[in-house]
Chain A
Amino acid sequence: MKNVLLIDFGSTYTKLTAVDVEAEVILGTAASFTTVETDINDGLSAAMAELKSEIGEISFDATYACSSAAGGLRMVTSGLVPELTGEAARLASLGAGAKVVGVYAFMLTEDDVEAIRGEKPDILLLVGGTDGGNTDCILHNARMIAEMKPDFPIIVAGNRNAKSECMRLLSGLEAYACPNVMPKFGTLDIDPTQKQIREIFLNRIIKAKGLSRATELLSDIMMPTPSAVLKAMELLAKGTKTEDGIGDLVAVDVGGATTDVYSIADGMPEQMNTVYKGLPEPYSKRTVEGDIGMRYSIDGIVAAAGVDTLSKISGLSEERVAELVEAVKADKERVPDGEDELERLDFALAASAVREAVRRHAGTIAETYTMMGLTYVQEGKNLTRVKRIVVTGGSLIHSSRAEEIAAYARFSPADPTSLRPKEASVLVDKRYIMAAMGLLSTYYPDVALRIMKKELYNGATE
């Protein structure tokens, strides 16, 4: 028997997953409510007590943790052209598990600098220009940032020809230089920057967010929770040398305030007559929709779907939908609890959240007629061939209709330009273990993979 404890310090819950890595089983899971006011260690001991009441007295050979506590890893990005280096910086930050609280393009203004100060980021990612390309913008921005004398670290990952000068301008501040996120037009190089983000997270943010006392009992690794989830998804899709993965996948996590979407797939055009446009996207891609969530961001769902659609999906009248939406907005803690109408509304909200968030994450295809017939222009990832949709996150996995909700991630003939999975089966992360398995995979990839496969296929529709 070799027991490992995996901790996820969340913003509302501290979640524990106990694993026997020799038997390759989950011994138990537990969660305890934590608030901004409660000490993170209180949440941990409460969850531990619950775990022990479930599985009995237990000792652990190792303890690993991830965290999204205290607002997660807040990042601001500053790039040149929004669709190019601006987008590269955003993708890099999201993929590193950050919560992107501000995105800036072109030259920063004094107002921008004030806004950044207000956003209180944990890290600012400064990029702009391909190698040998534009230097004016990033130098101007470095100067503006230097003048604001920030107390947060800055990562410089723009045009290499401006790197030394940027670092000089930022001297005296905590600044790190990384290779350009977009060294050439259409080429992304975001791994080194993501590694740097994680390092800063480890060294600085853990301490700042009151986790240092908890870290004393940890053996190793602290990473942002979304980055642990992305790691798990990647492993699940790709597999290891000795154990097969399940292939390309799309994953959705609808929360109270935001909706995360992950895709592990290449997504490049299938056909010869399709031209790819825009920035190529990473194989492991994460997006976060800040305006799509079940409670705090309910307005975004209503705006995207429309009351009429919510009424159709839920079977409630439009008036009733509007009333109930107001009711849960007034009382954000309110959950269905067997209440039929609210259950139906929540189903419609979750389904619409999934549809909208996956639509924004997936690529699009447009037809152009030429005299030799049809030609297609693809932007973003083509996910039509993806065969698996993974559902995770509290508000989906506890629904009795999780699979029906996830079906809204699929391709729809009514929306043929959106390249979502055409024939994908749904897997539900019933025990909410993805972040834990991402952590475990650092030391026990095969074990983590086999446990995930076991857990996800248990009761899944194949």
Chain B
Amino acid sequence: MQAYRMEFIMEEKRKKVLVIGVIGADVHAVGNKILYHAFTQAGFEVVNLGVMVSQEEYIAAAIESDADAIVVSSLYGQGELDCRGMREKCDEAGLAGIPLVVGGNIVIGKQRFEDVEKRFRAMGFDRAFPPGTAPETTIEALRELLHMDEK
């Protein structure tokens, strides 16, 4: 009982904060709205920047909200270009080590996703997800990444 209450209080005290948005000149808005609701439902505090988000905007919002992770969406195929240099900017802005994840349709055409993921990891992203990743899978991955199920 005591332990349960403690955990409850801790949970009440601070939800994990996610900054989300669709990067670059990308206007695909539907998936972003779905993720916002799914993450909120799952108990995250979500700062949603909407579509056409620049790297600087994610970073500024993450600083003010003391975010636990930045979730980047890219649907229109320019993801690789848009995500370049983001990790370095985070380091510069005092967000060293903040988890960065990316998903959607992050590259053009049919490419082997293993290769794609390798390239995004080399850019400093903690995880990259293939097209069609369901919100539930995404949430599970985030919980794992943020060590939310460990006691």
Q: Do A185 and B66 touch (CB < 8 A)?
A: no
Q: Do A133 and B60 touch (CB < 8 A)?
A: no
Q: How many cross-chain pairs have Cβ atoms below 8 Å apart between A and B?
A: 57
Q: Do B63 and A132 touch (CB < 8 A)?
A: no
Alpha-carbon distance between A229 and B27 when the two chains are bound, in angstroms = 41
Q: Do A185 and B45 touch (CB < 8 A)?
A: no
Name 5 extra pairs, CB < 8 A, besides A185-B47, A185-B49, A368-B52.
A81-B64, A84-B61, A370-B25, A370-B76, A375-B25
Question: Is there a chain A Cβ closer than 8 Å to B70's Cβ?
Answer: no
Restricting to B11-48, which residues have a CB under 8 Å from any CB of A? 14-15, 17, 25, 27, 45, 47
Q: Do B45 and A277 touch (CB < 8 A)?
A: no
A interface residues with partner B (beta carbon < 8 Å): 80-81, 83-85, 128-130, 132-135, 182, 184-185, 275, 277, 368, 370, 372, 375, 377
Alpha-carbon distance between A182 and B25 when the two chains are bound, in angstroms = 27
Query: Who on chain A is nearest to B93 by CB?
Result: A81
Query: Who on chain A is nearest to B45 by CB?
Result: A132
Q: Do A80 and B17 touch (CB < 8 A)?
A: no
> Which of A132, A134, A184, A275 meets B14, CB within 8 Å?
A132
Q: Do A135 and B66 touch (CB < 8 A)?
A: yes
Question: Distance (Å) between the CB of B149 and the closest chain A CB?
Answer: 22
Question: Is there a chain A Cβ closer than 8 Å to B57's Cβ?
Answer: yes
Question: Is there a chain A Cβ closer than 8 Å to B51's Cβ?
Answer: yes
The interface residues of chain A lying within 8 Å CB-to-CB of B25 are: 368, 370, 375
What are 19 of the A-B contact pairs (CB < 8 Å)?
A84-B64, A132-B15, A132-B17, A132-B65, A133-B17, A134-B63, A134-B64, A134-B66, A182-B64, A185-B47, A185-B64, A275-B50, A277-B52, A368-B52, A370-B25, A370-B27, A375-B25, A375-B52, A377-B52
Q: Do A133 and B66 touch (CB < 8 A)?
A: yes
The interface residues of chain A lying within 8 Å CB-to-CB of B66 are: 129, 132-135
Question: Distance (Å) between the CB of A32 and the closest chain B CB?
Answer: 48
The interface residues of chain A lying within 8 Å CB-to-CB of B49 are: 185
The interface residues of chain B lying within 8 Å CB-to-CB of A182 are: 64
Q: How large is the interface on B (under 10, 10 to 19, 20 to 34, 35 or more residues)?
A: 20 to 34
Q: Do B52 and A185 touch (CB < 8 A)?
A: no
The interface residues of chain A lying within 8 Å CB-to-CB of B14 are: 132
A130-B52 in contact given A83-B60, A185-B47, A375-B27 (Cβ < 8 Å):
no
Alpha-carbon distance between A363 and B51 when the two chains are bound, in angstroms = 19
Q: Do B27 and A129 touch (CB < 8 A)?
A: no
Question: Distance (Å) between the CB of A279 and the closest chain B CB?
Answer: 10
Most buried by A among B17, B45, B63: B63
Q: Do A80 and B63 touch (CB < 8 A)?
A: yes
Alpha-carbon distance between A125 and B10 when the two chains are bound, in angstroms = 31
Q: Do B51 and A185 touch (CB < 8 A)?
A: no
The interface residues of chain A lying within 8 Å CB-to-CB of B52 are: 275, 277, 368, 375, 377
The interface residues of chain A lying within 8 Å CB-to-CB of B60 are: 81, 83-84
The interface residues of chain A lying within 8 Å CB-to-CB of B27 are: 275, 370, 372, 375
What are the 9 tightest A-B residue pairs by CB atom distance, in nearest-first order?
A133-B65, A134-B66, A133-B66, A81-B60, A185-B47, A130-B65, A368-B25, A130-B64, A275-B52
Q: Do B63 and A185 touch (CB < 8 A)?
A: no
Query: Who on chain A is nearest to B19 by CB?
Result: A185
Q: Do B63 and A277 touch (CB < 8 A)?
A: no
Alpha-carbon distance between A367 and B57 when the two chains are bound, in angstroms = 18
Alpha-carbon distance between A277 and B60 when the two chains are bound, in angstroms = 13
Alpha-carbon distance between A335 and B148 when the two chains are bound, in angstroms = 70
> Which of A132, A135, A185, A370 meets B61, CB within 8 Å?
A185
Question: Distance (Å) between the CB of B118 and the closest chain A CB?
Answer: 28
The interface residues of chain A lying within 8 Å CB-to-CB of B63 are: 80-81, 84, 134
The interface residues of chain B lying within 8 Å CB-to-CB of A368 are: 25, 52
The interface residues of chain A lying within 8 Å CB-to-CB of B61 are: 84, 185
The interface residues of chain A lying within 8 Å CB-to-CB of B57 are: 277
Alpha-carbon distance between A128 and B65 when the two chains are bound, in angstroms = 10
Alpha-carbon distance between A80 and B66 when the two chains are bound, in angstroms = 11
Alpha-carbon distance between A182 and B37 when the two chains are bound, in angstroms = 22
Alpha-carbon distance between A375 and B67 when the two chains are bound, in angstroms = 29
Question: Distance (Å) between the CB of B61 and the closest chain A CB?
Answer: 5
Query: Who on chain B is nearest to A106 by CB?
Result: B94
Question: Distance (Å) between the CB of B62 and the closest chain A CB?
Answer: 9
Alpha-carbon distance between A130 and B14 when the two chains are bound, in angstroms = 13
